[in-house]
Amino acid sequence: MQKYREIGLKLTPQRLAILEYLDGNTSHPSAEDIYREVKKRFPTMSFATVYNTLEVLRKRGNLLELTIDPERKRYDPNTSPHHHLICLRCKKIVDVHVDYRIDLPQKERESFEVFGNHIEFYGICNNCKQKGGVMNGSV
Amino acid sequence: MQKYREIGLKLTPQRLAILEYLDGNTSHPSAEDIYREVKKRFPTMSFATVYNTLEVLRKRGNLLELTIDPERKRYDPNTSPHHHLICLRCKKIVDVHVDYRIDLPQKERESFEVFGNHIEFYGICNNCKQKGGVMNGSV
DNA sequence: TACTAAATTAGAATAATTCTAAAAAACGTT
DNA sequence: AACGTTTTTTAGAATTATTCTAATTTAGTA
């Protein structure tokens, strides 16, 4: 999120607020997280603005849309290659900054143009584990 | 899907139809794909039955719920560890049967109980590539 | 064959996301 | 500083995937 150097983008206060909220944010917020936060400063803020802005940032390559949480999309302003660890209970997501080198077999590389990969580690975070509960298929 | 040995499950014709459709299926169908197909044989079939059955199978460990396609959940009757390659355009998903061994750093293993991992490779399949179109952030 | 718990059904409800059309605002140009 | 054009914001409606509900039906057992 190169601070405020948003060449080619109209810099509105709402967008700035979203950018500031995202800048350095490692909580992998959902659209609603962002909406709730920014709405504090701009009470008329609408969901459409959040989604529009996120889409614009994604198209510019400044934001990753994560498909890890089965309930909602999560967003990551850190666009450098990295992986994620998610808690199956509370859906907390943390970064995994390790450069695993992973190659695809020739067969798949022939039938796809592969752009990259992303590893999703899954488990239960300490916080949820201490809260207890059964550990069957229901997680 | 151990054929018809559904101990502890009431074996209804609708469930059998779903099981048969899933058996050996590597297309990673969505709930709607399953619904559409099974409805041919059982025109009164409802979505609730599909979702209920999928949930029962998942809880029994006979089905994986994939969170890869940003638009809908996809299901995989192959529960042995493997990975996936998805086309960002048409959302086709293919299996990747390679055993990468991937370890998490100590730091993360301390704050989570990690059950496993899953690699998502992403790109554009040949079919979509030949159809052309721009290759910007919009995919 | 009868019982009972579990499954199916149609449709309503919910939740995330997208769309719409009108009003407002950014930014380059006067 | 005001103007004009194009983009953005807004409130709310619309859409889509998924879940829930309550009544009816059915599988599996006694």
CA distance A60 to chain B (A): 7
Q: Is the pLDDT of residue A2 over 90?
A: no
Q: What is the mean pLDDT of residues B55-79?
A: 97
Chain B CB within 8 Å of residue A124 CB: yes
CA of A81 to C1' of C25 (A): 36
**CA A31 – C1' C18 distance (Å)?**
13
From the CA of A12 to the C1' of D5: give the distance in Å.
Answer: 17
Rg of the Cα trace of chain B?
18
Query: How far B14 CA lies from chain A's nearest CA (Å)?
Result: 23
Per-residue pLDDT tens digits for A4-44: 666 678 999 999 999 999 999 999 999 999 999 999 999 99
- Is pLDDT at B112 greater than 80 in this prediction? yes
In chain A, which residue's Cα lies nearest the Cα of B59? A137
Domains defined along chain A, listed by start: 1-79 (1.10.10.10), 82-139 (3.30.1490.190)
Report ipTM (2 d.p.): 0.91
> If you measure CA to CA, which chain A residue comes closest to B66?
A70
